[in-house]
């Protein structure tokens, strides 16, 4: 739609709303109120509560006691935290680029015409759509050291002579978590990128082809710039998902072997609900929140402004 | 379009096959596994198909008839067996919670979305931004306080706690999607109705909602699916076996060292049926939302 048409359309609406006065505005506020109240109640209060909890020691045995920032100091200086932070960093650094590259490849593939394309597009969603614990269980069976499906298949095919301890070898366990995470996140990344690909006008490709650009040249000059905003969004989204990923680790490895796959969220959960140390758990949660905040701020910056809020003035 | 060269076609089809293999083979394995007795699954050297496949595992989940293969070898695993029998119950729990969340999303979400899309009121923009941004708070940061609050209110093991939490988690997205959609409807219809003296409530009910049914269904199912799958909150809110949701039950089965994998695979197969059924409509909705958003 042209810009002038949009302006012409917006004008009568503005007049109409101006005529109807305060009553109209009150109705609007009333309509939005339930959502606003619910969201405010369930985000502002718990967040304040988390900050409050993080400044005290509470355990099932002792009465709560205010300790200032001690929880934060304890948590950050503990070697478990450092180890979990390193693991999280490593995991994020592997999965985010991997997902972006694979996402682009899959999107390019699904953008081609071939028999079975629709089935694949719809079926693609399944790994993303099944509950994450189901994902964890399925893949746990596949990777299981003792009688896992992968071992059984590889052994039957004569590829391996003895079963491989996928989940109890630190490096292999990490690799398993990466594979499962990619499996569950790839659909969304690919579908977002596919949508971006489809919004690139065909004539851009045609004129690039007329200029004698190769397939790779066209990808570089037309496709990549066309999907760049979505690339940034997908990268940051997957970054956030990698940092906050919990369910897969919980179901697949329980953070093990040892602490090889213990990432910050799993560590937080185990501090809070296994060690029942809510104060430390909250302090950890807030540290993670602040860490993710950086990624979030980048995410907002990357989004086109009008995608979030229509200019209300 | 240009005709595809042979090389290109080979590339495309092998890529598609690779992708299909990566995406679907785990599901195929699970379905195969669900029809096999435990003894065959854990045999070494692997011999999965020593006995013919059967539906005995499924039969056990729904009727409690213990599969023959368990009795033959005298390896009765009661612990896991009892837990597996909760699968239908946990699916019911998940469905109850998810349905309630879907209804709340549709009612409250469309009300708020209509206000954001069509009515000018003070702080509209700030309110809209606030609702959207609320979702950017990482879940781990509010999990502990949620637990404390739910516990103080005595709502552990209740549907209500889950329904409220999932509604808050899904409403921002529903509101965003519906707002964008309502805004895309031609405003002239609203204006005409308004001139006739119709109130916003009336316009929403009689015009906007009937015009938006496909999107409402899509947004509702999306909320349903997220609630059906949520794990972290359900894990600490539902502790008694008759209230646990499907993801929690499956998570618990998976960490049970006494797990019978044949039964577990059967549980998964049953448990993901709703997801399989919802995949197509939800996907359509997502693609439409994404492409509609890109066309200005």
Structural domain including B127 reads: 86-259+272-294
Q: For residue A222, what pLDDT is reported?
A: 84
Same domain as B73, residue B160: no
Spatial separation of the C-alpha atoms in residues A31 and B200, rounded to whole Å: 9
**Domain presence at residue B95:** yes
Asked if the model's pLDDT at residue B291 lies above 70, the reply is no
In chain B, the number of structural domains is 2
Q: Does the pLDDT at position B295 exceed 60?
A: no
Comparing B292 with B119, the larger pLDDT belongs to B119
**Per the domain annotation, does B253 fall within a domain?**
yes
- Say yes or no: B171 contacts chain A, CB-CB below 8 A: yes
- Averaging pLDDT over each range in A291-295, A305-309, B195-199, which range is the top one? B195-199
- In sequence order, the β-bridge partners of residue A65 are A57
Contact call for residues B261 and A145 (beta carbons, < 8 A): no
Q: Dihedrals φ, ψ of B295, to 5°?
A: -90, 115
Report whether A109 contacts B19 (CB < 8 A): yes
What's the rounded Cα separation, in Å, for the pair A126 and B118?
Answer: 36
Whether residue B105 sits in one domain with residue B244? yes
With 80 as the cut, is the pLDDT of residue B71 above it? no
Q: pLDDT over 70 for what percent of chain B?
A: 89
Residue A64 has φ and ψ, to the nearest 5°, of: -60, 145
The residue written with tokens 């805004």 in the block is: B183
The pLDDT confidence band at residue A306, using thresholds 50, 70 and 90, is: very low
* Statement to judge: residues B52 and B194 lie in one domain: no
Q: Are A276 and A269 in contact (CB under 8 A)?
A: no
Residues B65 and B119 in one domain: no
* pLDDT higher than threshold 90 for residue B191: no
B109 CB neighbours in chain A (<8 A) are 35
How far B150 CA sits from the closest chain A CA (Å)? 11
Instruction: Spell out the residues 6+ positions from residue B272 whose beta carbon is closer than 8 angstroms to its own.
Output: A130, A131, A134
Closest residue to A268, CB basis, from B140, B230, B253: B140
**Residue B264 is assigned to a structural domain of this protein:** no
Tell me: do B115 and B246 sit in the same domain: yes
Name the more confident of B295 and A30. A30
Query: Least CB-CB distance to A195: which of B1, B167, B291?
Result: B291
What 3-state DSSP class applies to B49?
Answer: coil
pLDDT at position A4: 45
Residue B1 lies in a domain: no
> Do B108 and B185 fall into the same domain?
yes
Note whether A47 contacts B141, CB cutoff 8 Å. Answer: yes
Query: In chain A, what percentage of residues exceed pLDDT 70?
Result: 86
Q: Does B16 reach chain A within 8 Å, measured CB to CB?
A: yes
Inter-residue contact B109 to B175 (CB < 8 Å): yes
Query: Which of A4, A133, A200, A209 best tests the B interface by mutation, with the highest count of B CBs <10 A?
Result: A133
Instruction: Average the pLDDT over B35-42 and give the result.
Output: 76
The reply to whether CATH 1.10.3720.10 applies to domain A79-308 is yes
Q: Which of residues 277-296 of B touch A (CB under 8 A)?
A: 278-280, 282-283, 286-287, 290-291, 293-296
Which chain A residue lies closest to B187 (C-alpha atoms)? A13
Is the model more confident about B83 or about B182? B182
On chain A, the residues whose CB falls within 8 A of the CB of B124 are 28, 32, 312
Of the three residues B32, B54, B83, the one that is the final residue of a domain is: B83
Check residues B69 and A77 and name the one with the higher pLDDT: A77
Mean pLDDT of A21-44: 86
Q: What is the mean pLDDT of residues B247-275?
A: 82
Residues in A touching B41 (Cβ below 8 Å): 147
Residue B91's pLDDT band, with cuts at 50, 70 and 90, is very high
CA of A46 to nearest chain B CA: how many angstroms apart? 5
B166 or B61, which is more confident? B166
Which helix (H) or strand (E) covers residue B125, if one does? helix B124-134
pLDDT at A116 over 90: no
Which chain A residue lies closest to B94 (C-alpha atoms)?
Answer: A131
Of A53, A112, A265, the CB nearest to B140: A265
pLDDT of the residue at A125: 83
Tell me which residue in B27, B146, B254 faces A140 most closely, judged by beta carbons. Answer: B254
Q: What is the pLDDT of residues B118-144, one digit of tens each?
A: 888 888 888 998 888 787 676 777 887
Q: Are residues B19 and B40 in the same domain?
A: yes
Return the HEC string of chain A. Answer: CCHHHHHHHHHHHHHHHHHCCHHHHHHHHHHHHHHHHHHHHHHHHHHHHHHHHHCEECCCCCCCEECCCHHHHHHHHCHHHHHHHHHHHHHHHHHHHHHHHHHHHHHHHHCCCCCCHHHHHHHHHHHHHCCHHHHHHHHHHHHCCCCCHHHHHHHHCCCCCCCCCCCCCHHHHHHHHHHHHHHHHHHHHHHHHHHHHHCCCHHHHHHHHHCCCCHHHHHHHHHHHHHHHHHHHHHHHHHHHHHHCCHHHHHHCCCCCCCCCCCHHHHHHHHHHHCCCHHHHHHHHHHHHHHHHHHHHHHHHHCCHHHHCCCCC
Q: pLDDT tens for residues A236-281?
A: 788 888 888 888 888 888 887 888 888 888 888 888 777 777 788 8
Residue B13 placed within a domain: yes
ipTM above 0.85, yes or no: no
CATH number for the domain that contains residue B164: 1.10.3720.10
B289 plus B183 within the same structural domain: yes
Sequence-ordered list of residues with C-beta below 8 angstroms from that of B181, at least 6 positions apart, any chain: B113, B212, B215, B289, B292
User: What pLDDT, on the 0 to 100 scale, is given for residue B70?
Assistant: 65
Residue A61 pLDDT: 67
Q: What is the pLDDT of residue A296?
A: 64
Residue whose token pair is 């972006």:
A100
Nearest residue, CB atoms, A312 vs list B124, B146, B191: B124
Q: For residue A2, what pLDDT is reported?
A: 42
Whether pLDDT at B117 is above 60: yes
**Position A188 confidence tier, pLDDT thresholds 50, 70, 90:** confident
Q: Which residues of A touch B20 (CB under 8 A)?
A: 116, 120, 123
- DSSP readout, B185-223? S-HHHHHHHHHTT--HHHHIIIIIHHHTHHHHHHHHHHH
Least confident of A129-143, B19-33, B138-152: B138-152
Best mutation target, A126, A131, A229, A255, to test chain B (most B CBs within 10 A): A131
Question: For chain A, what percent of residues have pLDDT higher than 90?
Answer: 15
B245: nearest Cα among B97, B90, B99: B90
State the virtual CA torsion across B170, B180, A129, B98 in degrees, nearest 10. 40
Task: Please indicate, yes or no, whether residues B76 and B120 belong to a single structural domain of this protein.
Answer: no
B265 belongs to a structural domain = no
A254-258, B25-29, B174-178, B265-269, range with the lowest pLDDT: A254-258
* Domain end (from B56, B83, B110): B83
Ramachandran angles phi, psi of A56, nearest 5°: -135, 160
Name the pLDDT band for B110 (thresholds 50, 70, 90).
Answer: very high
Overall average pLDDT of the B200-222 stretch: 86
Within 8 A of A149 by CB-CB distance, chain B residues are 29, 33
Within 13 A of A34's CA, how many CA atoms are on the CB side? 18
Q: Which of B57, B83, B109 is the last residue of a domain?
A: B83
Residue A62: CA count within 13 A, CB half-sphere: 10
What is the rounded average pLDDT for all residues in chain A? 81
Please answer whether residues B99 and B262 qualify as being in contact, where contact means their C-beta atoms are separated by less than 8 angstroms.
Answer: no
CA-based radius of gyration for chain A = 25
Which residue does chain A place closest to B281, by CA atoms?
A122
Nearest to B268 among A31, A137, A244 (CB): A137
- In a domain? residue B249: yes
């Amino acid at each position: 739609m042209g810009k002038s048409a949009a302006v012409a359309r917006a004008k009568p609406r503005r007049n109409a709303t101006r005529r109807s006065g305060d009553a109209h505005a009150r109705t609007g506020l009333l309509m939005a109120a339930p959502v606003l109240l619910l969201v405010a109640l369930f985000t502002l209060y718990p967040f304040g509560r988390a900050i409050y909890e993080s400044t005290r020691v509470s355990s099932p045995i002792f009465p709560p006691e205010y300790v200032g920032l001690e929880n934060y100091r304890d948590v950050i200086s503990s070697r478990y935290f450092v180890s979990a932070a390193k693991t999280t960093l490593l995991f994020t650094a592997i999965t985010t680029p991997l997902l972006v590259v694979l996402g682009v490849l899959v999107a390019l593939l699904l953008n081609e015409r071939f028999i079975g394309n629709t089935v694949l597009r719809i079926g693609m969603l399944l790994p993303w759509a099944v509950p994450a614990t189901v994902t964890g269980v399925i893949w746990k069976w596949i990777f299981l050291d003792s009688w896992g499906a992968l071992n059984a298949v590889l052994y039957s095919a004569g590829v391996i002579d003895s079963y491989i301890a996928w989940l109890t070898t630190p490096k292999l366990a990490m690799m398993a978590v990466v594979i499962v995470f990619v499996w569950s996140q790839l659909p969304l990344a690919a579908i977002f990128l596919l949508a971006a690909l489809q919004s690139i006008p065909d004539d851009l490709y045609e004129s690039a082809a007329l200029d004698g650009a190769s397939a790779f040249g066209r990808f570089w000059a037309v496709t990549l710039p066309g999907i760049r905003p979505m690339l940034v969004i997908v990268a940051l989204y997957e970054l956030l998902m990698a940092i906050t990923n919990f369910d897969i680790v919980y179901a697949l490895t329980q953070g093990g072997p040892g602490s090889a796959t213990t990432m910050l969220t799993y560590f937080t959960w185990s501090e809070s609900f296994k060690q029942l140390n809510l104060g430390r758990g909250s302090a950890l949660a807030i540290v993670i929140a602040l860490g993710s905040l950086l990624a979030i701020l980048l995410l907002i910056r990357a989004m086109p402004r009008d995608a979030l809020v229509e200019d209300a003035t | 379009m240009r005709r595809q060269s042979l090389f290109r076609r080979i590339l495309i089809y092998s890529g598609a096959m690779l992708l299909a293999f990566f995406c679907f083979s785990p599901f195929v394995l699970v379905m195969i596994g669900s029809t096999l007795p435990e003894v065959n699954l854990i045999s070494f050297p692997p011999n999965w198909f020593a006995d013919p496949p059967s539906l005995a595992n499924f039969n056990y989940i729904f009727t409690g008839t213990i599969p023959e293969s368990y009795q033959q070898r005298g390896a009765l695993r009661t612990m896991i067996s009892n837990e597996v029998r909760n699968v239908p119950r946990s699916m019911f729990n998940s469905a109850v919670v998810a349905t309630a969340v879907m209804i709340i999303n549709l009612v409250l979400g469309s009300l708020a979305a209509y206000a954001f899309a069509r009515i000018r009121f003070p702080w509209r923009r700030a309110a809209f931004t606030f609702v959207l941004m609320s979702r950017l708070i990482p879940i781990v940061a509010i999990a502990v306080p949620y637990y404390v609050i739910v516990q103080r209110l005595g709502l552990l093991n209740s549907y209500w706690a889950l329904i409220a939490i999932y509604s808050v988690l899904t409403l921002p997205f529903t509101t965003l999607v519906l707002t964008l959609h309502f805004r895309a409807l031609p405003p002239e219809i609203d204006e005409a109705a308004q001139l006739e003296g119709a109130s916003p409530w009336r316009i929403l009910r009689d015009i906007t909602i009937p015009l938006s049914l496909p999107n409402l269904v899509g947004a509702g199912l999306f909320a349903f699916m997220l609630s059906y799958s949520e794990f972290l909150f359900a894990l600490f809110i539902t502790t008694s076996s008759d209230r646990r949701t499907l993801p929690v039950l499956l998570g618990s089965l998976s960490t049970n060292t006494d797990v019978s994998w044949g039964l577990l695979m059967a549980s998964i197969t049953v448990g993901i049926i709703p997801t399989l059924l919802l995949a197509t409509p939800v996907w359509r909705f997502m693609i439409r939302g994404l492409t509609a958003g890109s066309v200005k």
